[in-house]
C-alpha cells in the first residue's frame, strides 16, 4: 500500500490505521525525517513492514522512483492512496498565478504521475487507486480557486480512469473528507505564494484525521465509488446539484465568516 503525503494529517493517520490492520506500507512525502520517525513508531507498535521514500509528487521522476522502489521491496502494489496536497486562500483577482500552478503540480499532477506508474501493477492485482479530494472538488469554494480547480481535475481524471477500466477489475475511489483537522490550512498558500502560517478555523470542531481514515478504510473494504464525509459536506454536494444558485450564495456567506477572510479586504 502506497500513501503519499504520509508525514502529517490524513496521510499520517492512514499509515497508523492501515499498519494496525496488517498492511505493508510505502510512505511517501518530502520530509524523509518525519517519515522515518513515523515508520519507527509503526514498527514498534505493530511490527509492520514499512518502506519510506522521499518523494516530491510534483516531480514526475520522483513518482516513478516511488513506484519502482515499492515494487522492488514488495513485488506488487494493491492500493495507491493519492493523498499529498496543498491548499491556498486568496481571491483570484489578487492571486499570483504561480500559486495555482503549484497547487496543480502537487494536487493534480502528483495524482496523475503516481497513478500512471502504479497502474500496471494495480491492474495486475485488481487493486485500488484513491484520490483524496475535497468537497471543493464538487462545488467551487470561494477564495480557493486553485484548490477547487485541482480537486475538480482529480475527480475528472479518476472518474474517466474508472470508465476506461470498467471491466479490468480496477477499483477507483474518490474520497472527499470535508473539513478535517490537519496541517493543510497552516501550510496553505496566500496570494503571493507565502505560507498562511495559521489556520483560520477551529480545528478542534472538525472531524479528526483518525475518524476520517476509518471511513477511508471502510470505503476501500467496500470498494466504494465515492465517499463524501461530514453532514455539511454531503449537504453541499446535494444542494450544488439541485439548487446551485442558492448554494453559491450560502457558500459565499459561510466562507466570508472565516477570520481574516480575503472577502473583507
**What is the distance between the alpha carbons of residues 261 and 91, in angstroms, rounded to a whole number?**
9
Q: φ and ψ at 100, to 5 degrees?
A: -65, -40
d(CA 152, CA 147): 9
Q: Catalytic residue at 147? A: yes
Among 113, 117, 121, 147, the one annotated catalytic? 147
Long-range contacts of 157-166 (CB under 8 A, 24+ apart): 157/108, 157/111, 157/112, 157/115, 157/131, 158/111, 158/115, 158/129, 158/131, 161/115, 161/129, 162/225, 165/123
Cα–Cα distance, 255 to 265 (Å, whole number): 14
* Residue 50: all three cell numbers together: 514499512
**Would you please indicate which residues are annotated as catalytic (active-site) residues?**
147
Amino acid at each position: 500500500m502506497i500513501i503519499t503525503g504520509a508525514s502529517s494529517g490524513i496521510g499520517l493517520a492512514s499509515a497508523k490505521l492501515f499498519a494496525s490492520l496488517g498492511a505493508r506500507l510505502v510512505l511517501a512525502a518530502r520530509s524523509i525525517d518525519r517519515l522515518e520517525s513515523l515508520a519507527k513508531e509503526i514498527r514498534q507498535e505493530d511490527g509492520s513492514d514499512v518502506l519510506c521514500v522521499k518523494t516530491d509528487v510534483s516531480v514526475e521522476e520522483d513518482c516513478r522512483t516511488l513506484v519502482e522502489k515499492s515494487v522492488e521491496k514488495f513485488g506488487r502494489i494493491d492500493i495507491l492512496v493519492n493523498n499529498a496536497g496543498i491548499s491556498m486562500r486568496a481571491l483570484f483577482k489578487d492571486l499570483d498565478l504561480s500559486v495555482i500552478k503549484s497547487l496543480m503540480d502537487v494536487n493534480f499532477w502528483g495524482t496523475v504521475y503516481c497513478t500512471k506508474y502504479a497502474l500496471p501493477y494495480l491492474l495486475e492485482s485488481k487493486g485500488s487507486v484513491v484520490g483524496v479530494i475535497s468537497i471543493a472538488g464538487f462545488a467551487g469554494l470561494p477564495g480557493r480557486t486553485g484548490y477547487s480547480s485541482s480537486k475538480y481535475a482529480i475527480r475528472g481524471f479518476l472518474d474517466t480512469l474508472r470508465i476506461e477500466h470498467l471491466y479490468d477489475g480496477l477499483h477507483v475511489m474518490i474520497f472527499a473528507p470535508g473539513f478535517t483537522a490537519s496541517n493543510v490550512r497552516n501550510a496553505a498558500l496566500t496570494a503571493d505564494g507565502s505560507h498562511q502560517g495559521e489556520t483560520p478555523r477551529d480545528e478542534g470542531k472538525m472531524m479528526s484525521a483518525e475518524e476520517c481514515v476509518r471511513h477511508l478504510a471502510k470505503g476501500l473494504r467496500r470498494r466504494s465509488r465515492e465517499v463524501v464525509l461530514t453532514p455539511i459536506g454531503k449537504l453541499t454536494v446535494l444542494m450544488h446539484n439541485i439548487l446551485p444558485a442558492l448554494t453559491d450564495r450560502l457558500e459565499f456567506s459561510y466562507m466570508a465568516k472565516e477570520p481574516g477572510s480575503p472577502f473583507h479586504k
